[in-house]
Amino acid sequence: MRGTRTPARHAVCVLRESSGTRYEGVVPVTGNIFDKALGRATLFRNKEHLRHSHQPMKLPHREREIEQLTFNLVEALNGQIPSNMILYGVTGAGKTAVTSFVCNQLVEKGQQIDRDVFAITVNCRQIDTQYRVLTHLGNSMLEAHEVDEIPFTGWPTDRVLGELVKRMEKRAGVYIIVLDEIDHLVRKAGDDLLYNLTNLNSSLKSARCCVIGISNDLKFTDFLDPRVRSRLGQQDVVFNPYDADQLRDILVQRSSSALHAEALEEGVIGLCAALAAQEHGDARCALDLLRVSAEKAEHEGTTSVAIRHVRTAQSQIEADQITPVVHSLPTQQKLVLSAILLTERTGARGVQTGEVYDVYDQACHHVGKAPLTARRVSMLISNLDMLGLITARTVSRGRYGRTKEIHSSLPPNVDAAAIIQDAEPDLEPIFSSKYRHQSRL
Ligand SMILES: Nc1ncnc2c1ncn2[C@@H]1O[C@H](COP(=O)(O)OP(=O)(O)O)[C@@H](O)[C@H]1O
Ligand SMILES: [Mg+2]
């Protein structure tokens, strides 16, 4: 009732701390909100050691590859030019880790025995044009007191190359130029960069250079001019995917410094290794799985990581990977995916192209979009299949021709309808409208 509030009740909301600070309507907090979180027992000795960026000092099951690189690059310490190399292998096979380990050791040895050996690594996924790679190489050769940077744009390629040669000559020595993820740059911008870099030695007198290209794509050399191919691929090293036993050893090695000894229950490492081996033997995947599992266990406040934490971590990682894919689909792809989900909502499994098209057509009308032809929609279905969001199997229906049998393959904890509506609120009516579904014969 109005006017019945007593002065005493009002006073409850006015607190005065000993310091004299006055807070209105706030319950007093003793200490800082982070105190509890900070004081919590942790399962990690050093979480960094499970991250991709950490450079381990031991790389189990890569002895042969390390040996091959070492055998070739030792030439640099003798003042000779090592052969150019191409390293191939699926992602997470340890190519970057092995190369940076060997290069660090090489440079360290060079300093010990007073030989000028330099290693420069460029990630060609991030630095993805010839001009930018050359500028990056040139500018990374500047000493701290030199400020003469090559501009990020504007010079003709010849001039940047000339400047690069000048700088290499000034410092002399042997340069190991590592082009990581080179397949990405070549696919985008062609092989001019490789042509120019593998030709540098003809312009160098006091300096020498060797190029190591690292590719995630085994067919990468198909994109190369035969001359570039033969100059770059003087030595090829293939990194095979790790199997479950090898991944287990890698995880044991990495977790020994990353986690407390008693933090892992029986079978946890084995499961992380087995799941990652099923993907394609990706050490990165295995490390992520172990790290996220330990984070889950820690969050729960348990004293060790159990199998169930690995299962939860796996579905979270899967959902985290799929969500942005669904979110960024073009609108028409979203409409087709929605039509598949809506058809499946009726309880149908193995829905056919015709049924999906029918619902897609209605969905387009509900949101005021012009529907594409059945042929285009069939192509969009194949795209969704390639992205791994659905599986579409072509089946023959005798004289009725061929059709696709479609199943969505989204993990249960991914709510694609919610993601689609979140990404494009205009599409909300798709999921709230009524549909006529074809009757199945
Ligand atoms: N043999 C290994 N021992 C320990 N860690 C490894 C090993 N191979 C790969 N890793 C780790 O796995 C992650 C992915 O390896 P990376 O070298 O980046 O693979 P790639 O370059 O082939 O895609 C990195 O964190 C790396 O340190
Ligand atoms: Mg790599």
Give tens-digit pLDDT for 230-258: 999 888 999 999 999 999 999 999 999 99
Whether 217 contacts 183, CB under 8 Å:
yes
Confidence of residue 357 (pLDDT cuts 50, 70, 90): very high
Whether the domain at 1-55+243-326 and the domain at 63-239 fall into the same CATH topology: no
Q: Which two tokens stand for residue 16?
A: 């005065």
Q: Is 61 in the pocket of ligand 1 (CB under 6 A)?
A: yes
Summarised one tens digit per residue, pLDDT across range 336-355 is: 999 999 998 887 778 888 99
Distance between CA atoms of 100 and 378, rounded to whole angstroms? 45
What is the average pLDDT across 172-196?
93
- CA-nearest residue, atom 8 of ligand 1: 94
**pLDDT for 23:** 47
> Does the structure show a pLDDT above 90 at 30?
no
* Cα–Cα dist 361/437, whole Å: 11
Structure tokens that stand for 168 in this block: 């290499």
Choose the residue to mutate in 63, 95, 96 for probing ligand 1, maximizing ligand atoms within 8 Å of C-beta: 96
Look up the pTM and report it.
0.80
CA of 25 to the centre of ligand 2 (A): 54
- 2 falls in which pLDDT band (50, 70, 90)? very low
Read off the pLDDT of residues 390-412 as tens digits, 9 standing for 90 and up: 999 888 877 777 788 899 989 88
Q: Which pair of structure tokens corresponds to residue 295?
A: 């984070």
- Percent of the chain whose predicted confidence (pLDDT) is above 90: 62
Residue nearest to atom 13 of ligand 1 (CA): 284
Estimate to the nearest angstrom the gap between the alpha carbon of 6 and the chain centroid. Answer: 62
Q: Can you read off the two tokens belonging to residue 309?
A: 């934490």
CA distance linking residue 42 with residue 263, whole number of Å: 9
Sorted by where each begins, the domain ranges of the chain are 1-55+243-326, 63-239, 328-432
Residue with tokens 């194949």: 382
290 lines ligand 1 (CB under 6 A): no
| Fold (topology level) of 63-239 | Rossmann fold (3.40.50)
CA of 318 to the centre of ligand 1 (A): 20
Q: Is the pLDDT of residue 6 over 70?
A: no
Please report where in the chains the tokens 């266990």 appear, as a residue. 297
Any atom of ligand 1 within 6 Å of the Cβ of 304:
no
DSSP3 helix / strand / coil % (the chain, rounded to 5):
55, 15, 35
Domain 328-432 is in which class? mainly alpha
Task: Return the ligand number nearest the Cα of 64.
Answer: 1
Asked if the 1-55+243-326 domain carries CATH number 3.40.47.10, the reply is no
Q: Decide if 303 contacts 324 (C-beta within 8 A).
A: no
What span, in angstroms and rounded, lies between the C-alpha atoms of 376 and 197?
A: 44
Contacts 24+ apart (CB under 8 A), 332-336: 332/369, 332/372, 332/376, 332/380, 333/380, 333/383, 333/384, 334/420, 334/423, 334/424, 334/427, 335/360, 335/363, 335/364, 335/367, 335/369, 335/427, 335/430, 336/360, 336/377, 336/380, 336/381, 336/384
Residue 288 region by backbone torsions, left for phi larger than 0, else alpha for psi between -120 and 50, else beta: alpha
